[in-house]
Amino acid sequence: MMALPLSGIKVIDLTQVYSGPYATFLLAEAGADVIKVEPLEGEKLRRMTGAAATPYAMFNANKASVSLDLKSAEGGRGMRTLLADADVLVENFRPGVLAGLGYDDASLERINPRLIRASLSGFGSEGPYRDYAALDIVVQALVGVIATTGFPDAPPVKAGAALADILGGTHLFGAVVTALLHRERTGEARAVETSMLAATYPAMASSLGPAAMAGPDDVLRTGNHHGAGRVCPYDVYPASDGRVAIICTSDRHWQRLASLLGLHALASDAGLATMAGRIARMAEVDAAISAVTSTMSRSALFDLLARGGVPCGPVQRLQEVIRDPHLLATGALIAIDHPEHGALMVQRGAIRFAGLERPPYRPSVPLGTDNHLLAAFPAADANEGPLHDTARG
């Protein structure tokens, strides 16, 4: 098998829960050797049980597992062994926590001057919120996701996706690889960081323009209509067995949609030939579409419209998502028999390299499976002393 892009790159992974583990999952899927380091009781996500165990398995495939107590002398020796020939240390503690455990920049550079340190936190290492704890819903609140989600006549609501976590993690993945490329080109090992707040901000693009120009009483929630009211048709329409999203960003989309749905009078209505004309008659356009779509199934609409060149997607329940024929056919989603959890649908990395196979899939492993990696440490250097004499964490 051809070598993957990150083959031979050794990553020490101190991350927890979703955001950081997703970054190191992408590193592993690109060929890196990722060693996940967890506390003796396992990280928070590993301790989840039942259905809630799925995310740990999803995000921690293809990683070795080591457990140690970062605050103990023995754990410190283990960490030093791991770091001595590592390329990257990835963490998503709050700023200052890692240094408090004895791993400040100077100590890390002494252990391994080629080590790249990569950090993700809610707010980054500077600024007024730096010390605040951040979880996905906190970032959704601060950055405007909640304010812009929901129907105009109902309260604001969070997105049912952990977008701030995964956007943070994906930026962290890109940051690590960029730092590796920089080291490859210059020999310099530079620390990199990103934050969930800054990583989520660009997703608000559609709403930011109008917000900046409108008054304090502007409508922030538009249900399933376009956030700035500038596209029509754009809605989630009824089907006989659920709902479908349909969006026409061009006049050509509209002509195709109207004709595929048999709305010939509307298709030939000159007043609806332009986006401005359709927006002015949005209620009429949406009602006419709904009258037809409500008589057809989601899959019939998807086949008809998507094949006909109209952007359309059925609103799938998660039981359908994990059986989605496209995700399965492309190998983005695979069925495994997990040694700890049994039958499970899991994802592969979303990035494909032409001519390179994905690495073999190794399910997440029990805590400490690879603790033998810690045993290889050299005799402690008496002059240096254990790193953790002054641990404060």
Q: Which of 37, 197, 261, 272 binds a second copy (CB under 8 A)?
A: 197
Tokens 């993945």: give the residue: 173
Tokens 């997607």: give the residue: 313
Question: Which long-range contacts (C-beta less than 8 Å, at least 24 apart) are formed by 365-371?
Answer: 365/63, 365/64, 365/65, 365/339, 366/65, 366/340, 367/38, 367/42, 367/46, 367/65, 367/67, 368/65, 368/66, 368/67, 369/64, 369/65, 370/35, 370/64, 370/65, 370/66, 371/66, 371/67, 371/68
317 in contact with a second copy (CB under 8 A) = yes
Report the SS3 class of residue 56: helix
Q: Residue count at the site for a second copy (CB under 8 A)?
A: 145
304 in contact with a second copy (CB under 8 A) = no
107 in contact with a second copy (CB under 8 A) = no
Residue 38 beta carbon to a second copy: minimum distance, rounded to whole angstroms: 16
Q: Which of 102, 144, 233, 359 binds a second copy (CB under 8 A)?
A: 144
Residue 254 beta carbon to a second copy: minimum distance, rounded to whole angstroms: 13
Stretch that binds a second copy, among 61-69, 119-127, 262-270, 364-372 (CB under 8 A): 119-127
Least Cα distance to 249 among 291, 278, 207, 222 occurs for 278
> Element (H or E) spanning 106, and its range?
helix 105-111
Binding mask 38-57 for a second copy (x = CB under 8 A): ------x---x-xxxxxx--
Stretch that binds a second copy, among 64-72, 131-139, 264-272, 280-288 (CB under 8 A): 131-139
Residue 226 beta carbon to a second copy: minimum distance, rounded to whole angstroms: 9
Q: What is the C-alpha to C-alpha distance for residues 203 and 193, in angstroms, rounded to an integer?
A: 19
Q: Which of 75, 95, 314, 359 binds a second copy (CB under 8 A)?
A: 314
Catalytic residue among 33, 136, 165, 286: 165
Q: Is 165 a catalytic residue?
A: yes
- 7-26 residues in contact with a second copy (CB under 8 A) are 18, 22, 26
127 in contact with a second copy (CB under 8 A) = yes
- Residue with smaller CB distance to a second copy, 150 or 386: 150
Q: For residue 27, what are the CA distances in angstroms to 41, 229, 326?
A: 25, 39, 24
Residue 196 beta carbon to a second copy: minimum distance, rounded to whole angstroms: 9
Q: Which of 128, 187, 360, 378 binds a second copy (CB under 8 A)?
A: 128
Q: Which of 15, 207, 255, 293 binds a second copy (CB under 8 A)?
A: 207
Stretch that binds a second copy, among 34-42, 80-88, 309-317, 359-367 (CB under 8 A): 309-317
234 in contact with a second copy (CB under 8 A) = yes
> Element (H or E) spanning 121, and its range?
strand 116-121
Q: What is the C-alpha to C-alpha distance for residues 4 and 254, in angstroms, rounded to an integer?
A: 44
- By residue count, the chain amounts to 393
Q: For residue 73, what are the CA distances in angstroms to 12, 211, 221, 360, 377?
A: 18, 54, 54, 36, 13
Q: For residue 68, what are the CA distances in angstroms to 18, 74, 98, 306?
A: 20, 8, 15, 52
251 in contact with a second copy (CB under 8 A) = no
Stretch that binds a second copy, among 260-268, 340-348, 365-373, 381-389 (CB under 8 A): 340-348
Q: Which of 265, 280, 321, 380 binds a second copy (CB under 8 A)?
A: 321
Instruction: Characterise 161 by phi-psi region: left (phi > 0), alpha (psi -120 to 50), beta (else).
Output: beta
Residue 107 beta carbon to a second copy: minimum distance, rounded to whole angstroms: 15
Residue 314 beta carbon to a second copy: minimum distance, rounded to whole angstroms: 6
Q: What is the C-alpha to C-alpha distance for residues 233 and 310, in angstroms, rounded to an integer?
A: 11
Least Cα distance to 58 among 356, 332, 386, 271 occurs for 332
356 in contact with a second copy (CB under 8 A) = yes
283 in contact with a second copy (CB under 8 A) = no
Two tokens, residue 30? 């690109």
Q: Which of 163, 239, 266, 296 binds a second copy (CB under 8 A)?
A: 163
Q: What is the C-alpha to C-alpha distance for residues 260 and 333, in angstroms, rounded to an integer?
A: 32
364 in contact with a second copy (CB under 8 A) = no
203 in contact with a second copy (CB under 8 A) = yes
- By DSSP bridging, strand 234-239 and strand 10-13 are unpaired
- Residue with smaller CB distance to a second copy, 78 or 359: 359
Residues annotated as catalytic (active site), given as ranges: 165
